[in-house]
Amino acid sequence: MILHPATRLGRQLAGAVLFAVLLLSATGARARPVCMIVAATDGAILHEDGDCRSRVTPASTFKIALSLMGFDSGFLKGPHDPVLPYRKGDPAWGGKSWTRPNDPESWLRHSVVWYSQRITHALGADALTRYATAFGYGNADLRGDPGKDNGLERAWIASSLQISPLEQVLFLGRLVERRLTVAASAIDRTEAIVETRTVGAWTIWGKTGSAYPRLADGSFDRARAWGWYVGWARRDGRTLVFARLDRDESRQPVSSGLRARDALLAGWEELAGSLPD
């Protein structure tokens, strides 16, 4: 469908105004919008607002890529295999869901850090780097903090691994179109465990991510958390990929990633309706 220039401009302006309204209503003074980007699965950008080209930590959105790696390597076998136990000393700040046995489905649903660490240790740094490079996943740097040898523990959490919102949607487009160099079954099984939401006639698959940036002394800036929500949406045979990134301006009781997710879902139908066909 070829749109008249005035129609295209009108849609673009409507999308920009909608984005601004949603940011004010959904995040208020708690968070500063960084980027909202929506693309077709072939990489064509349909909506881009804010700084979508600068790289930051992927935080738990990396779990989508890590799931593909885990299933492709054979370490992960199905939504409930393997079941792995919590061990004393594992990260436990996520509450009761983190201190009990978890499987791939509950790992992704509850964003269990120690389960990610089991996968990264099973694969090793070299394999992780090869996968991330092949995926075009940001800077593909899994080394971790300089001099700490902790890449397998936290490279994706406010550390060496960095990705931009634009790179997120390009990666997700390759996933949805099955252009990644992994087994088809790895994509099938990953899609099966990513959380889904229904918004009107749209089905939305998405993953949140939250992380505190580092200060100059290496400590965490707990007042300025990054909040991600990335994924893909389908309706009537059409698939779109998206990434939303926010940054808090003060410390908040609710995860920045959950708030980014809720804000995107609240405005998704109107935003999607403003996009070109």
The catalytic site residues sit at: 60
> d(Cα 106, Cα 114) in Å, to the nearest integer?
12
CB 259 within 8 A of CB 27: yes
> d(Cα 231, Cα 244) in Å, to the nearest integer?
9
C-alpha closest to that of 106 among 76, 150, 73, 75: 76
C-alpha closest to that of 78 among 99, 107, 101, 98: 107
> d(Cα 267, Cα 259) in Å, to the nearest integer?
13
> d(Cα 113, Cα 24) in Å, to the nearest integer?
31
> d(Cα 146, Cα 140) in Å, to the nearest integer?
15
179 φψ region: left (φ > 0), alpha (ψ -120 to 50), beta (else): alpha
